[in-house]
Amino acid sequence: MELHELTIHELHDRLKKREVSSVEATQACLDRIAATDEKVNAYITVTGDEALAAAAAADSRIAAGDMDLLTGIPLALKDIFLTKGTRTTCASNILANFIPPYDATAWLKLKERGAVLLGKLNQDEFAMGSSCEGSAFGPTRNPWDLERIPGGSSGGSAACIAARQATATLGTDTGGSIRQPASHCGCVGLKPTYGRVSRYGVIAYASSLDQVGPITRDVTDAAIMLGAVAGHDPLDSTSVDLPVPDYAKSLVLEVKGLKIGLPKEYFIAGLDPEVKSALEMAMETYRGMGAEFIDISLPHTDYAVATYYLIATAEASSNLARYDSVRFGHRTAEPGSLIDTYSRSRDEGFGHEVKRRIMIGTYALSSGYYDAYYLKAQKVRTLIMQDFLRAFDQVDIILTPVAPTPAFRIGEKTSDPLQMYLSDIFTIPVNMAGTCGISVPAGISQAGLPIGLQLIGKPFGEETILRAAYAFEQATTWHKRKANL
């Protein structure tokens, strides 16, 4: 197997035995990026020279016996993470030339362990999208079919893994933005419980929903990455001060007696037959391993999308007010009065979807409408959260689809925002509840497109969903399939 195709744990074993160097592994990934990214467009910025220098430092560290699981491992980050001295754009013209003065906590933790940064990955602008078509730097394409979307908003993070351009990546998930692209690209994508991973240094979209998580080739790598970035951070007021388990130790094949909930609201008429078939096959796999299925109800599911698009847009309206062209970011070449300069700069800097969401959110927060929209949405969010907590009184985890269909064609839904928003109908409730979820490869459609399976856990129940995901992965071969790129 070529170096750019190895998982974290496979490459770590080779580095530890001195069979290969970090410089060689990093160069292999850079060569792969050079060979494939013109087609895929997963990267906004490639940091080749810096990566090779970091890899050389990692090799020296390994030679001195100072080695961690992530030392010398070449990784890439969604371009929403601040990286000191390296351009961070959030896929927006308004930040096209922004160089951050400090690192996001999640990246700092990886860097301190000796990880190597290959570059920054494409996404929907400000993480607002479900297809990775909304980037100021052009759409990312799905390596399984270049005419199809990779999912969003962390589309570059998932496409990068599917194209074998990095060993692992980090993305963010506000309404499904890790799990949905992982499903569409045949990867493993983990959205941790809100507060499990620091958001400090992550450019904010919707602060009460955003969460950092890994996209990897297999479940073992997801556990390794989560263990590396999880933990309390005093710089993030929403970070929870709980011990971080050794997630890798939860990866056992035993799921006998595990109670898995099947919510009737997720198995709907609009579900693609091939997605439904993949889920039914997955259920048989679990039954064969001794898991028990229980029918459950999450009665407020129907309100999740509408609730999300009020809360998320309201928070986006507030968060994006800071991009005023005065302190940093794009400024129009033809400034006039202060208000005119604001208006022109924001009009030129923000894309259509970002403008749409800012306007929706500003309206929802405006005088006379706040109680009717934003406040009501927060009350419904509480009901959705209570649905999950009641369900977890009966079951250990919940099994659902990730997306209603396999990846759709580029341009298919751009003219119909509502259809685009419904792409996240099965992932949004997890963010509303603040709990954890994972997408695992579970099938391939007749058109040769990956289909994912979603496992939802209790708050801070990452160990249980990782165990269930690992058992399924080891009982099947879907995670070993790869894009023919």
Q: Catalytic: which of 153, 317, 325, 345?
A: 153
CA distance 166 to 474: 23
Question: Cβ(430)–Cβ(436) under 8 Å?
Answer: yes
* Contacts of residue 40, Cβ cutoff 8 Å, sequence gap at least 6: 140, 141, 143, 146, 159, 160, 163, 165, 485
End-to-end CA distance of the chain, in Å? Answer: 16
Rg (CA), the chain: 21
- Classified as helix, coil or strand, 474 is helix
- Classified as helix, coil or strand, 69 is coil
Q: At what angle do helices 462-475 and 273-288 cross, to 10 degrees?
A: 90
CA distance 250 to 254: 10
Helices (H), 17-74: 22-40, 48-63
DSSP code string of 367-407: TTTTIIIIIHHHHHHHHHHHHHHHHTTT-SEEEEESSSSSP
CA distance 42 to 407: 16
For the question of residue 153 being annotated catalytic, the response is yes
User: In the 3-class helix/strand/coil scheme, how is 298-357 assigned residue by residue?
Assistant: CCCHHHHHHHHHHHHHHHHHHHHHHCCCCCCCCCCCCCCCHHHHHHHHHHHHCCHHHHHH
Q: Catalytic: which of 130, 131, 135, 177?
A: 177
The 3-state DSSP composition of the chain as helix, strand, coil percent (nearest 5) reads: 45, 15, 40
The pair of three-digit structure tokens given for residue 328, joined into one six-digit string: 């940093």
Q: Catalytic: which of 22, 78, 154, 439?
A: 78
Position 468, amino acid: A
CB hemisphere CA count around 143 (13 angstroms): 30
In the sheet with 212-216, reading across from the earlier edge strand, the strands are 43-46, 116-121, 74-78, 168-172, 212-216, 188-191, 436-444, 450-457, 397-401, 259-263, 292-296
DSSP state of 412: S
Question: Cβ(453)–Cβ(157) under 8 Å?
Answer: no
234 CB neighbour count, 10 Å cutoff: 10
CA distance 74 to 214: 14
- Residues with a catalytic annotation lie at 78, 153, 177
